[in-house]
A = this chain, B = another copy of it.
Amino acid sequence: MSSHEEIVLKPIGVVRTPSVGNQVKDKTRISQIVIRDDLAAALDGIDDFSHLFVLFWLHEISNEKQKTLKVHPRGRKDLPLLGVFATRTMLRPNPIGLTLVELVKAEGNVLKVRGLDAFDGTPVLDVKPFDSWDTAKDTRVPGWWTKLESEKAKSR
């Protein structure tokens, strides 16, 4: 397979939330992930995990915006101009969102999850159980990241 070939995906479900705008960033908030009826059986046993990764498609990012190569983190001009792969910006060649959420309840084809920063109607690509291989000790992050986090903590 050449690295220029196209890959076609089909959503496995959709995000449902009454939250709008900046409300979706509130990590204490509960959202629903409604999985396609024909895939409901693929959820069997998921509720034995407390946390999941949700992969979703940032469908509001236009083709033009996917060509962005550099950004200031959160649009802040006082922070360095960085490659999009060095940030979690939505402006990326393949705008796939990745968020770790708490699984509150699984019922039929609906997952109730806490901490999903995605808008109502967002197509979901995959859900994966979180386990100890998904984390690392002694990690290092840049100064700009620590600065943003400490500002966020102060504003709470």
Which A residues lie at the B interface, using CB under 8 A? 1, 3-14, 34-36, 39, 41-46, 48-51, 53, 55, 57, 59, 69-70, 80-88, 92-94, 96, 98, 100, 102, 121, 123-136, 138-143, 145, 149
A9-B94, A9-B96, A135-B135 provided; 17 other pairs, C-beta below 8 A?
A1-B59, A1-B121, A3-B12, A3-B14, A4-B11, A4-B36, A6-B8, A7-B10, A7-B125, A49-B139, A51-B136, A53-B98, A55-B98, A96-B126, A98-B134, A100-B134, A129-B141
Residues from chain B with a CB closer than 8 A to the CB of A57 are 7
Contact B12 A41 (CB under 8 A): no
